[in-house]
Structure 1
C-alpha cells in the first residue's frame, strides 16, 4: 500500500520508534515536534500525501527552517540538521514499510550529526533481568524468561520475536528462522539457555494460556503478544530487577551485538546475525567495544597513566 497521508505515516513511524527502537520519552517528543512542524508546512503547501513530496519540496523546507517563515524563527544549523535527520528516518521507514513509493531524501546529502552509540547493558545486568523474569509461579514467568532469552539469544527485533511462529523454531538444531524487514528471512542460532527456556515455556507455560494461534509468544488471554505488550513486560522486569538504566527490547539487541564483538566475533558475522543490509550499520557497535578496550588498557597497562 502506498500514497498514505503524511500524518498517518508519521503516527506509524513514531509508534515504531517507541516500541521497536525503544526511544526515550524525550527523544520521541523531539521527533514529534520536528515531524509535526513538517506536516504543518506540507499541508500549507497543499501536499497532504506522502507520495506528493518531491526532493525540491524537502529542500524548500530546509531553506525555510534556516531563514524562518511565518511565525517560526530561523533555526540554528544544528537544529536544522536534527530536523532533517528526523525527516530522513521517517521517509526511509515509509519506503521500507511500503507506506510510500519513493524517498525524496534518497539522494540528499547526509546531515552531519554526531554518531550516537548504541546503549548496551552488561552481561551481569542481563543476568539480573533474567533472574527477575524467573520470579514467581505459573505460565507468565516461563513466558517472560523465554522471551528475554529469545531476544538476547538471537538479537532479534521485537517485531521478529512477536511474529515468530512455532514452525519457525528448530529447537533440536538450536536455530530459529526470523522474518525481518522487507520480507527478508534469516536463520540464526539459539543458544542452550534460550532453547531450554523456550522448551520449558512451550511444554509448561504456553498450553496453560489457551493459545489460539501459531505464534510462539502469547499474552495472558492466549492471543498474540503485541510489540507494546512485550515492551511493557521488559520494562516491568527491569524495574523488578532494580535496573535504573532505560531498557527496551532494542536494548537486548544492542547488548547481543556488543557482547558478541566483545567476545571476538567478526563484524560481518554479526551483520548477518542482526540482518543488517550494510556492514556500515553494524560497525557502530565496534565503536562501543573500542571504548571498552581503552578502559581496560587505561586501568591495566603499567604505562597507560602517569
Structure 2
C-alpha cells in the first residue's frame, strides 16, 4: 500500500517520468527483499539508518558502482520523506547517511572537426532514410536534446520560420531551443521527402518509411552506427552528442547559464561538469602545442 501511494505521489504530484518512477520502485523493492530475506515479516521500522547502511555495504560487496548505490540511497531518502509527510512514520533519519564517494568521470564527447567530417563528408545516402538519419544526428548535435525528447517531437513542435523547437523535458517541463540555418535546411529537405510517404500514420516529426513514428532503440542504433564511423569512443550514443553539443558550445565561448537553459538542467551544478572537460582539453592542447610543455 505504501509503495503504491508513493508511486501515485511521484506520478501525479511530482510529475516524474514513468522510467524514473520505475527505477524508484525497483530500488525500494530491492531494499525490501534484501532486509526481509531472513525474516518472516517486515515493517516500515526496518527503513532505518542501520538497515540501509548494511544494505549499501552488501551492494558494494556485490560489485555495484558507487553511482548506482548513491542512486538507490536517493530513492530510499525520497521514499522516507514521503512516509514522514503522510505520517506513516514518525521520524526520518536517512538524511544522516553519507553515500560512497563517486569517481568523477568526465563526459565523453566528439570533437567539432569529427562532427563536421560526419555531417559534411558524404556518409549519408540521399534517400528518405539517409536524409532522416543525418537530420537525427544533426538535431542531437545542434540542440543538445535528449533521446526521449527527440523521439517525442511532433511536427508542430518544429518551427523552421522561427528557427526553434519546443521540447517536453523531464518533469513535463517545456522549453524552447533555437537552431541555425544549417539545421533549418536539413529540416526542409527532410520534410519534402517525408511528406511524399503515403499513409503517414503519425503526427511525430521523425518517422519510419511506413509513416509511423520512430522509437528509442531505432534512434539509438542510428546514432551508434554513424558515430562509430568517425569516433573511437567505446560508447557512441545520443547522450554523447548531447555532451558534444555542450562541450563545443563552451569551448566556443557560450555562457554556462545559457547552456544550462538549453539543456534543461534543473541546477547549474549539472552543467558545470563540462567546464572540467574543457579544461582537460585545454591542458591537452597546451602540452601538444607549447615547445616547453
When the two structures are superposed, what TM-score results if normalisation uses the length of structure 2?
0.75
Count of residues paired in the alignment: 268
The CA distance in 1 between the partners of 2:140 and 2:77, in whole Å, is 25
Provide the residue aligned with 1:27 in structure 2: none
Provide the residue aligned with 1:56 in structure 2: 47
**Is 1:75 aligned with 2:57?**
no
**Is 1:244 aligned with 2:229?**
no
Post-superposition offset of 1:140: 0.3
C-alpha contact 2:163 2:180 (8 A) present in aligned 1: yes
Moved more, 271-280 or 203-212: 203-212
The CA distance in 2 between the partners of 1:258 and 1:15, in whole Å, is 31
Q: How does 1:100-249 map to 2 (within 5 A)?
A: 108-131=97-120, 134-208=123-197, 210-239=199-228, 241-245=229-233, 246-249=235-238
**Is 1:292 aligned with 2:281?**
yes
The CA distance in 2 between the partners of 1:238 and 1:173, in whole Å, is 29
Post-superposition offset of 1:125: 2.2
- CA deviations over 1:221-278 (Å, ceiling 9, x no partner): 2211111111011122234x25332210101000000000000111111101100010
Provide the residue aligned with 1:23 in structure 2: none
Provide the residue aligned with 1:87 in structure 2: 72
- CA deviations over 1:176-232 (Å, ceiling 9, x no partner): 111101010111111211111111101123532642121100123221111111101
Post-superposition offset of 1:55: 9.2
Provide the residue aligned with 2:34 in structure 1: 41
SS at match of 2:196: helix
Which of 261, 273, 290 is equivalent to 1:272? 261
The CA distance in 1 between the partners of 2:45 and 2:179, in whole Å, is 44
Which of 254, 257, 263 is equivalent to 2:246? 257
SS at match of 1:207: coil
SS at match of 2:177: strand
SS at match of 2:200: coil
The CA distance in 1 between the partners of 2:214 and 2:78, in whole Å, is 23
Post-superposition offset of 1:300: 3.3
Q: 1:62 to 1:143 in 2, by over 3 A?
A: same
Q: 1:131 to 1:90 in 2, by over 3 A?
A: farther
Q: How does 1:24-35 map to 2 (within 5 A)?
A: none
Provide the residue aligned with 2:13 in structure 1: none
C-alpha contact 1:153 1:256 (8 A) present in aligned 2: yes
Between Structure 1 and Structure 2, whose CA radius of gyration is higher? 2
Provide the residue aligned with 2:11 in structure 1: none
C-alpha contact 2:66 2:101 (8 A) present in aligned 1: yes
SS at match of 1:186: strand
Q: 1:292 to 1:223 in 2, by over 3 A?
A: same
The CA distance in 1 between the partners of 2:71 and 2:208, in whole Å, is 33
C-alpha contact 1:155 1:252 (8 A) present in aligned 2: yes
